[in-house]
Amino acid sequence: METETLGHNEKIFVAGHKGMVGSAIVRRLQTLGYANILTRTRQELNLLDQKSVSDFMLSEKLDQVYLAAAKVGGIYANNAYPAEFIYENLMVEANVIHAAHLGGVQKLLFLGSSCIYPREAIQPMTEEALMTGVLEPTNEPYAIAKIAGIKLCESYNRQYGRDYRSVMPTNLYGPGDNFNPENSHVIPALLRRFHEAVLQNIDEVVIWGSGTPMREFLHVDDMAAASAYVMQLDETTYKAHTLPMLSHINVGTGVDCTIRELAETIAKVTGFRGRLTFDTTKPDGTPRKLLDVSRLRSLGWEASIALEEGLADAYGWFISHQENFRE
């Protein structure tokens, strides 16, 4: 499912290259043979600063932009910091997309999230489900920001003839994830909790919620491969598989599991042999989140990393970085 590179000398900016998704995209582009990849740390370029971003885009004369920079977190973080989640994500995407346009960048890929879909959307969720119902309250501010990013891309395409594309990944995990016990997503949080239980010889691991919600998980290397694949498609092919006013594409595995099943797999990967307890006083979030990925499959791409294999890879990364992993 490879496509040939559009040109090894293209100047590509990956926004958010220090994050899990951005770093995976950089690795993928390097594997494909792109040598002119531009990155900036937060200290070098503050994406919340409109003038700095505009000056950067105007001076660098970029060919492509991958917008992977975002403020992300799990249920706890989204509940605790809703203002930061909506403000920072809105500002970053607005600054980058507008500045890319002003700087003459014709191709841009915006990375969103499956939380853009309504809480009670018909499963699996198709791209057409966008804005057809009420969002999940626990991450509504973040979801609204991501929806705005999609609409920014569509608006610049519509008004200025840009080729700004959007991909909506399901729940991501893998190397470079955030393992902070308070604001991480479910996989890194459980990997760390099970790991510590094994180290401390604890015979019980408590898991938030009932364990019944269904979730789909995609390894970040698969996400990066899909992102590069979608970006490389010629414009005619891409447009033929999207709708004029609905141009985003779902990225996932098309397979989900319960949180209980996920926990059992993580227990296997980490070597935990104790009991699992589910704390039903904690929120479950959306009952089910499964993406319809038929559109992406029709374009010739599908995920290749199985969940247990991917979890083992993520756990191995955690083990080798546990002294200095991101908090």
**Which segments are annotated as binding site for NADP(+)?**
16-22, 111-114, 146, 169-172, 185
Task: Quote the tokens at residue 80.
Answer: 């605790």
What would the 3-class secondary structure string for the chain be? CCCCCCCCCCCEEEECCCCHHHHHHHHHHHHCCCCCEECCCCCCCCCCCHHHHHHHHHHHCCCEEEECCCCCCCHHHHHHCHHHHHHHHHHHHHHHHHHHHHCCCCEEEEECCHHHCCCCCCCCECHHHCCCCCCCHHHHHHHHHHHHHHHHHHHHHHHHCCEEEEEEECEEECCCCCCCCCCCCHHHHHHHHHHHHHHCCCCEEEEECCCCCEECEEEHHHHHHHHHHHHHCCHHHHHHCCECCECEEEECCCCCEEHHHHHHHHHHHHCCCCEEEEECCCCCCCCEECECCHHHHHCCCCCCCCHHHHHHHHHHHHHHHCCCCCC
Of these residues, 142, 164, 173, 315, which one is catalytic? Answer: 142
Distance separating alpha carbons of residues 266 and 74, to the nearest angstrom: 18
Q: Does 34 qualify as catalytic in the annotation?
A: no
Show binding-site residues for substrate.
193, 208, 215, 284
Report how far residue 156's alpha carbon sits from residue 101's, in angstroms, rounded to the nearest whole number. 8
Q: Which residues contact 118 (CB under 8 A, 6 or more apart)?
A: 129, 131, 132, 133, 134, 135
Mark the binding-site residues, compressed into ranges.
Answer: 16-22, 111-114, 146, 169-172, 185, 193, 208, 215, 284
CB of 228 within 8 A of CB of 25?
yes
- Distance separating alpha carbons of residues 225 and 168, to the nearest angstrom: 14
Indicate which residues carry an active-site annotation. 142
